[in-house]
Amino acid sequence: MRAIYALLTDARVDEPAFQRWQERLRKEAPEYRRHSLDAKVIIAANRRFTDADPRFAPIEPEQVMRISLDAAQGWLNRILTTSPMEVAIVGDFDVEKAIAYAKKYLGSVGTRPVTVDGLQALRRLRVVSGPYEETVTAETDTPRTDIYLAWRGADWKDAHDRDVLDLASRVLDRRLMNELRAKRGWVYSVGCVSYPARYYLGNSRFAVLFSTAPDRSQEGLRLARHIVEKLAATGPTEDELAIVRRQLANEDEVSKRKIFYWQSWLAGMKLRGDDLGGLKEREATYQRATMGEVRDVLKRYIMPEGRVAIVGMPRVGGLKAATAGAQVAESAK
């Protein structure tokens, strides 16, 4: 707590660290983005889902060089001394002592507002209707295409839909792996993940991600979309739900023994409007959600106007690309 108090009252931006940060973002980051399919795909997806909100764009070299050490220190001072502060304390300790130390050290850093004027408006992103598809390229000789297929999902505050979509993503994990990997050998791995937006509302995503050979990109994209849309139309089987429920129960049992699990839930809990009862409700939703319930929730989100597809293609040429692509497709079988 003494160290935290010192950071809150006398933190300094280290000049050598600041200079290294500037140099890395001025030279290394743009070069990495130029050659990285992953980076190009994620940047394009973020741009579409956030309506090109600058808070989600990579920092450009000219922006980096306009930031001075004094400006960085001034920003840090303002945040530490005037911004609302929400504290979560997690660990193996005497609770009463922890509270007493928090009152002593955190309670002496000065009063500050409970919230920021206009914060809710700043958290709400503008939603652009789709469907939308974009192809991006990166300067790489790796004969691989990255696919990012996503729909707008449920925000964190929409607890029921958020948890049901998590269930659905686990079912789709198995279906996608079976169809794209086991049956066809088009991919090394494939996953479906539901990302509920905790702080920037409207940025939630229900996404399928995989890599394949360039000549399989459109075929793989169509099949992945068909698999997701079929589940939204018919729902999962009871056997699929039973498997996923066991998986989630086992994960929760292990996770609850770790500090990060509790820290993740408690951090920002007031801002999100959560309480600890939400944990029990989430577990209950996992166990009692029916096949029809999963189908009905998916139908609300797996819609053309919410669909975004980003295809990342390598910029390679001639016989080298064709030969390498064929080798990737063959080795994945």
Give CA–CA dist 239/126, Å, rounded: 39
Kindly report the length of the chain: 333
Question: Which pLDDT score is estimated for 321?
Answer: 45
Average pLDDT over residues 183-190: 94
Average pLDDT over residues 198-224: 96
User: Model confidence over 152-166: pLDDT tens digits?
Assistant: 999 999 999 999 999
Q: How many angstroms from the chain centroid is the CA of residue 45? A: 11
Give CA–CA dist 249/252, Å, rounded: 5
The yes-or-no verdict on residue 146 having pLDDT over 80 is: yes
> Would you say 276 and 101 are in contact if contact means Cβ atoms under 8 Å apart?
no
Instruction: Compute φ and ψ for 59, nearest 5 degrees.
Output: -75, 125
Give CA–CA dist 272/232, Å, rounded: 28
Percent of residues, the chain, with pLDDT higher than 70: 95
Residue (of 143, 120, 111, 123) closest to 37 by Cα position: 143
Question: Which pLDDT score is estimated for 19?
Answer: 96
Half-sphere exposure of 102 (CA within 13 A, CB side): 13
Question: Which pLDDT score is estimated for 272?
Answer: 86
> Would you say 263 and 90 are in contact if contact means Cβ atoms under 8 Å apart?
yes
* Beta-bridge partners for 207: 150, 193
Cβ neighbours, 10 Å, residue 306: 21
Pairing of strands 307-314, 132-138: parallel
> Would you say 191 and 209 are in contact if contact means Cβ atoms under 8 Å apart?
yes
Q: Which fold has domain 130-331?
A: Cytochrome Bc1 Complex; Chain A, domain 1 (3.30.830)
Give CA–CA dist 318/311, Å, rounded: 20
Provide the mean pLDDT of the chain: 91
Question: Which pLDDT score is estimated for 332?
Answer: 44
The yes-or-no verdict on residue 81 having pLDDT over 60 is: yes
Question: Which pLDDT score is estimated for 278?
Answer: 87
Least confident of 191-195, 254-258, 273-277: 273-277
User: Model confidence over 25-56: pLDDT tens digits?
Assistant: 999 999 999 999 999 999 999 999 999 999 99
Question: Which pLDDT score is estimated for 113?
Answer: 87
Question: Which pLDDT score is estimated for 271?
Answer: 85
Give CA–CA dist 210/131, Å, rounded: 20
Least confident of 49-63, 97-111, 147-161, 261-275: 261-275
Helices and strands in the chain: count of H runs, count of E runs: 16, 5
Question: Which pLDDT score is estimated for 172?
Answer: 98
Q: With the C-alpha atoms ordered 38, 44, 49, 51, is the resulting torsion angle positive or negative?
A: positive
Half-sphere exposure of 67 (CA within 13 A, CB side): 20
Residue (of 228, 246, 242, 243) closest to 295 by Cα position: 228
Give the tokens for residue 225: 């979309």
* Beta-bridge partners for 149: 208, 309
DSSP state of 1: -
Give CA–CA dist 251/260, Å, rounded: 13
Residue (of 202, 196, 191, 201) closest to 228 by Cα position: 191
Question: Which pLDDT score is estimated for 316?
Answer: 66
Least confident of 68-82, 86-100, 244-258, 304-318: 304-318
Every domain range in the chain assigned CATH 3.30.830.10: 130-331
pTM for the model: 0.87
Give the tokens for residue 107: 């309670």
Using alpha carbons, list the distances in angstroms from residue 31 to 19, 36, 144, 320. 18, 9, 19, 23
Residue 297, C-beta contacts closer than 8 angstroms, at least 6 positions apart: 154, 160, 161, 164, 165, 168
